[in-house]
Amino acid sequence: MRYGILVSDPDDWTARSLFASLVESGAEATFINFSSLSSRVGDGLRLSSRGIDLSSLDGIIVRDLGRSGSQDVAFRFEALRALEELGVPITNSTDSIARAANKFATSLALQREEVPTPRTMATTSLDDALSFVDELGKAVFKPLFGFKGRGIELITRENSGSLAEIIDRQGVLYLQEVVELGVPRDIRAFVVGDRLAGAIYRVAPPGSWISNLAKGGSPEVCTDDEEVRELALRAGRCVGTAYCGVDLLETPEGLKVIEVNGTPSGRGIFLALGVDVGKMIAEMVI
Ligand SMILES: Nc1ncnc2c1ncn2[C@@H]1O[C@H](COP(=O)(O)OP(=O)(O)O)[C@@H](O)[C@H]1O
Ligand SMILES: [Mg+2]
């Protein structure tokens, strides 16, 4: 069996763990980087990257598609879909990756299954956005396709003027009720198949309330909790991922899900808990 690991950074911790685990299990593994991706049609369909015929692989595990502009992301994604149609198992599935990458699509999926999530508005109307901020007093703005805590801003009645500029630039606003926490932190639960591989707190660095590790957050042990397990598994099922990272916030009404990451890093879980999710994912895929 020969598996591809789709990743843009070959030093990525999770990609390396997947590679090592696949090889350890007796499979062949190869890194694929979509910064070199070609497709030909007209005389049959061919999809290749650095001389590898991608349709010959027994499966592809997606760590990241790599990205620069919207055009090449669309091309990369469409190529992955084509491979899936050709019968190459893609993990996570392209549908679930698309749903997880789009915060509105995730919100809809959570809502559909009544998974608790903070009050949220997605809108192309500046007036509706301003009314929402007015109603709540303040809100968290997130880019619809945001990740690693990038581009997240706190919007208050006082600075809500900045929404006009954001909507001009991005065309859509995704706003969410602020969950106030004494110690700003979230819970990152890592789900593989129907198991909770582990859960960690990510504590925001001093002076910040954004707790992503990429924003300086620190991973800490979070003891396995039935509520975390139940919600994380449900959230993953809503989005349709085979494995995922689920972000939860502790609110006075209980835990609420804010994100399902369909291409999560396993590094934080390994640092805090010593659990190697790469091994679990590789075993599941094989
Ligand atoms: N509604 C919220 N209230 C308080 N903090 C939030 C809220 N939403 C996000 N955050 C903080 O911002 C971080 C990133 O948000 P998230 O929705 O997970 O986006 P990303 O995809 O960028 O990780 C969270 O881990 C949390 O620390
Ligand atoms: Mg997140």
CA of 258 to the centre of ligand 1 (A): 7
Under-70 pLDDT residues of the chain = none
Ligand nearest to the CA of 257: 1
Q: Which residues contact 39 (CB under 8 A, 6 or more apart)?
A: 45, 46, 47, 48, 79, 82
Segment 68-77, tens digit of pLDDT: 788 999 999 9
Helix (H) or strand (E) holding 135: helix 126-136
State the pLDDT at residue 69. 82
Pocket test for ligand 1, best of 148, 177, 249 (most atoms within 8 A of CB): 249
State the pLDDT at residue 67. 77
State the pLDDT at residue 223. 84
CA of 11 to the centre of ligand 1 (A): 26
Task: Tally Cβ neighbours within 10 Å of residue 59.
Answer: 18
How far is the CA of 110 from the CAs of 22, 64, 117, 188, 215, in angstroms? 32, 23, 7, 17, 26
* Cα atoms in the 13 Å half-sphere on the side-chain side of 273: 21
| Ramachandran sector of residue 240 (left: φ over 0; alpha: ψ -120 to 50; beta: rest) | left
Segment 151-166, tens digit of pLDDT: 999 999 999 999 999 9
- Strand 90-91 relative to strand 59-62: parallel, antiparallel, unpaired? parallel
Which residue has 């598994």 as its token pair? 233
264: Cβ below 6 Å to ligand 1?
no
- Name the amino acid, one letter, at 107: S
64: Cβ below 6 Å to ligand 1?
no
Q: CA 171, 174, 178 angle in degrees (round to 5)?
A: 150
CA of 52 to the centre of ligand 1 (A): 38
Q: What CA–CA distance (Å, rounded) separates 8 from 18? A: 14
Around ion ligand 2, residues with a beta carbon closer than 5 Å are 247, 259
